[in-house]
Structure 1
Amino acid sequence: MSRRRPTRSTPSAPATSADDLLTTLGRLTAQARRGAELQHARVELAEALQREMLPAVLPALPGLRTAARYAPARTGLDIGGDWYDGFTLPDGALAFCVGDVQGHDVEAAAIMGQVRIGLRAVAATATDPGQVLSRANDLLLSVGSSLFATCSFLRFDPVTWELQSARAGHVASVWATAGGRWGIAEDAGGLPLGIQPGEVYPVTRRNLAEAGAFVLLTDGVVEGPSFPIDKGLATVAEVLVTGVCGGTAPEELAAGVMKVAELTGHSDDAAVLVLSHDAGPAEAVVRARGGARRVARLTVRPPG
């Protein structure tokens, strides 16, 4: 009598589980790919937007060189409200400014673009930086935005090398000379733009005939959670005076100042603008003021 071996059925559950696992992995891979593509597109859009909102070229003169750096925020979108700008005024003087709109998102970037364009527009007819900021303040209030902006605005005279400056709630500037002197230009100022109608902004006047550098920056460079702003400004001054005494080019000065932001732990975006000048006024050989203005217009590179 023969015995039949009991037949064993092969279970299908493991195969089904393997198929489900492969399907799940494929779905997750597709989601990750779409996420990476969206992230790449977001970064490209942010970088293009920021490039368009910052000047491609800064004005310069023989004896006066300029350089700037911008670093995006390390949280949120790679765009923000910090900006720098430089342009030629109708009378041949040069205008420079650095500012910071509250926040680092699309709205902050949009308001920043409006403020920057507004400053260029009002500066064409204003008599000094204080009037520029007053008109820009009224302009921002008329837009009805809930955001405010801080700003430092400078007017440089290529004939006398006088630098007029005004501040709207902005962080102080830093200067250093080739002789080793340095200082923090915490001049009198007014409230940030977009807060109080009719705000007045005092004007400070100084001369840049002595060789050295003058640096505008935003708080993202010098302030952090455990890094007080006074310490940040002093660190920038140390970097600046070392570079100026060593004959460092303005591009390298701007890069060196921007590195201070790495010490602060600040996650906000940051901007630096350097004015580097030689030993004396470049237009001193031009005796007639009108002739000097004409030379200035010919030698200034127009912004991008």
Structure 2
Amino acid sequence: MSDDPRRPEPEEAAGHGTGAAPEGGRTRGGEAVEELSAQIRQLSLDRRRLHCLLDAVVAISADMDTRTVLRHLVRAGTDLVAARYGALGVLSEGGEIIDLITVGAADAERLLAESGLPQSHGLLGRLIEDPKPLRVDDIAADPRSVGFPEGHPVMTTLLGVPLSVRDTVYGNLYLADKEDGTPFADADEALLTALASAASVSIENSRLYGLLKRSAEQFQRRLLPVLPDLSPLLVEARYEPASELPHLGGDWYDALGLPDGAVLVVVGDVTGHDVEAAPLMGQIRNMLRALAFDRCGPPSLIVDRLDRALTAVDEPPAATLVLARIERDPAAGYVLSWTNAGHPPPLLITAEGTAQWLAPDAHGIPVGVQPGLPRPDHRHPLPPESTLLLFTDGLIERRDRDIDAGLRDLADHAAALASDPLDALCDALLGHQDGYDDDVALLALRVPRLPG
């Protein structure tokens, strides 16, 4: 035993006195450190989940197509809580599932084709009837479960949350079976609920975008004419809006028979893509019709009169166009006469599949720029069964392609379709690519076979 009271006894020095570790071998300080480490790990996990949630919301908001947004949502939900399977059931106004978007299930499309869409009963029906988050730890043991159709993956756990848009349940997001085999927890439910709440804004935006797109396209199409019967000439026209907003544009086409027996065709493009371009296009089209009927003069004269008439308009619009007359010459057959006001040239395809651009060196400038400048006329014979194509630049222009390459591609493609019916040729030309950076107006005219 020590004579110095300040020095600990040997047992104390060895850790068996005051402050000794409890029987488990851990000090109170060690427990605190372990608890603090656990809190830091949880905080780090929560931060990672928050970042994942924000990333998911950004990804969902990046697209305006409703079905693409919904697919992003299902994928984001499964990734966010590390689930094996995900599905989103879109509901009708009556609460029936009208579409199902799935992630993780192999052969999902085949299963849907064989079994049809899920019915609104069982656990799915429970969420439809009572749109609140639903968690099930054992699907097979739950009395509300009605089982799975043949060939469906066997699932054990379920987490479902409603998807509301403007206080209306748009659908339900379902996840099944976490990757680590554990049941879904409160944190998973909170994350999925937050994701569904944020996604509702993107869904509403995409729906409004789709409505605006359809309304704009319908308005644009109403401004375009129904083509008359111009027999024996055949004529077809197509209009395709740009793949992205704005969908209101100034592209147009027109064709009509004139009092002197000739046929007038025109394709043009008013500068701009907004709510003003489309009505201006309608005005210019109507003015051209009136001017053409008035005098039945050469194309250059009609366009020159249009150019001068536009000077009476406050802030006259600029427009490019090709205006052409097709008339029957007893000696030479059908002959095309045209003038070009800063527009892509016409393309002539013979019955044998030869493509020729009608692009003489002399051409005019767009209308609405500087009235009074000369506008040359050109003439060219139209061989029997040949096809004349007039179009706007949206058909040949792409952000990632040179315009000369676009012209070559169009000529090659059209030449290969020379013997196709005219309507099929137009459909094929517009179906050549998935989308367009700009509006497209296309007018095709086919000359009849010579009687013989």
The amino acid across from 2:309 in the alignment is L
Measured in 1, the distance between the counterparts of 2:328 and 2:417 equals 24
Please name the residue that 1:176 is paired with.
349
Q: In 1, are the aligned partners of 2:325 and 2:338 still within 8 Å (CA)?
A: yes
The amino acid across from 1:272 in the alignment is L
Measured in 2, the distance between the counterparts of 1:59 and 1:104 equals 31
Post-superposition offset of 1:176: 1.4
Please name the residue that 2:263 is paired with.
94
Instruction: Map residues 1-304 of structure 1 onto 2, 5 A cutoff.
Output: 35=205, 38-62=208-232, 64-126=233-295, 127-145=297-315, 147-158=317-328, 160=330, 161-187=334-360, 188-244=362-418, 247-260=419-432, 262=433, 267-280=437-450
Q: In 2, are the aligned partners of 1:141 and 1:195 still within 8 Å (CA)?
A: no
Q: In 1, are the aligned partners of 2:230 and 2:256 still within 8 Å (CA)?
A: no
Measured in 1, the distance between the counterparts of 2:397 and 2:195 equals 45
SS in 2 for 1:142: coil
The amino acid across from 1:170 in the alignment is H
Deviates more, 1:43-52 or 1:95-104: 43-52
Cα 1:37–1:243 shift into 2, 3 Å: closer
Q: In 2, are the aligned partners of 1:175 and 1:240 still within 8 Å (CA)?
A: no
Please name the residue that 1:290 is paired with.
none
The amino acid across from 2:286 in the alignment is I
Measured in 2, the distance between the counterparts of 1:234 and 1:150 equals 21
Q: In 2, are the aligned partners of 1:58 and 1:85 still within 8 Å (CA)?
A: no
Q: In 1, are the aligned partners of 2:346 and 2:358 still within 8 Å (CA)?
A: yes
SS in 1 for 2:311: helix
Cα 1:221–1:24 shift into 2, 3 Å: same
Post-superposition offset of 1:259: 3.6
Choose between structure 1 and 2 for higher RCO, CA contacts under 8 A separated by at least 6 residues: 1
Post-superposition offset of 1:155: 0.8
Root mean square deviation of aligned Cα:
2.9
TM-score, normalised with respect to structure 2: 0.52
Identity of paired residues, percent?
34
The amino acid across from 1:231 in the alignment is A
Radius of gyration: which is bigger? 2
- Structure 2 unaligned segments of length 5 or more: list them: 1-190
SS in 2 for 1:95: strand
Measured in 2, the distance between the counterparts of 1:151 and 1:59 equals 23
- Structure 1 unaligned segments of length 5 or more: list them: 1-20, 285-304
Measured in 2, the distance between the counterparts of 1:141 and 1:87 equals 26
Post-superposition offset of 1:88: 1.5
Cα 1:128–1:136 shift into 2, 3 Å: same
The amino acid across from 1:155 in the alignment is R
Cα 1:248–1:159 shift into 2, 3 Å: same
